[in-house]
Amino acid sequence: MKISIVTPSFNQGKYFQKCIESIKAQACNAIEIEHIVLDNCSTDATGDILRSYQANPGLVNLVAIIEPDRGQTEAINRGFLLGSGDIFCWLNTDEYYKPSTLATVARFFEEHPDIDVIFGDCEFVDGDGNLVKTKREYFFSISMLVYYGCYLPSCTTFVRRRVIDAGLLLAPEFRVTMDFDWYVRIAKAGYRIAHIPQVLASFTWHDTNISSVQVERRR
């Protein structure tokens, strides 16, 4: 099974190395990893980190694109369309996977061919990697999604290729709530979504998160 991971990037060099190392550490015989990094011409340490990654990608099939873009959502969509995997996901530069996450995901999809999307639990950490809280999720319910809000962490959500091939991409006009809109449309299209009760990734909470700086737009 091949998993395509899309990482939109812009001036997050402080966190990027940990994201990369978490992906390289996932390599195993059961899966093939494709990592598509789309960097919006970062001016910090990101360029140096990315060049080092290109020189030593390990067992990861790295695709690095350094070009101007129109923001995170457009970059993720471009990565989805470029990807060649059976499973797709995106991992931001300030997020990282727990050990064996991708093997767990691959195994679940193999054992549940009727499931189109899975999501797991997520840890919130501070800028130094210290645990702030663990966010435990629930079984999937479209009613809960619509009326409670977006409770599927994007860093622990994985979709089958057939969802992307059906043209279900992120809507750029939503910008900071594009994940929420995407999950609603996927569910309304009849795709089956399941929860894995396991922490799959960590999300770094810092003062430049979109969730922090665009609170009113999100609301």
- Predicted confidence at residue 30, as pLDDT, reads 83
- Predicted confidence at residue 167, as pLDDT, reads 97
- Predicted confidence at residue 213, as pLDDT, reads 46
d(CA 100, CA 178) in angstroms, rounded, equals 27
Asked if 191 and 150 touch (Cβ cutoff 8 Å), the reply is no
Angle at 152 between CA 150 and CA 158, to 5 degrees: 140
- Predicted confidence at residue 141, as pLDDT, reads 93
β pairing state of 2-9 and 32-39: parallel
- Predicted confidence at residue 29, as pLDDT, reads 82
Asked if 79 and 1 touch (Cβ cutoff 8 Å), the reply is no
Which regions of 82-174 does DSSP assign to beta strands (E)?
A: 87-90, 95-97, 117-125, 131-135, 157-160
CA dihedral over 72, 102, 45, 94, signed as positive or negative? positive
- Predicted confidence at residue 210, as pLDDT, reads 54
Place of tokens 């990592």: 35
What number of other Cβ atoms are within 10 A of residue 39's Cβ?
24
β pairing state of 32-39 and 61-66: parallel
- Predicted confidence at residue 64, as pLDDT, reads 97
**Amino acid of residue 87:** I
Give the pLDDT of the chain (219 residues) as one tens digit per residue.
999 999 999 999 999 999 999 999 998 888 999 999 999 999 999 999 999 999 999 999 999 999 999 889 999 999 999 999 999 999 999 999 999 999 999 999 999 999 999 999 999 999 888 999 999 998 999 999 999 889 999 999 999 999 999 999 999 988 788 999 999 999 999 999 999 999 999 999 845 545 554 557 556
pTM: 0.92
User: What is the rounded end-to-end Cα distance, in angstroms, of the chain?
Assistant: 38
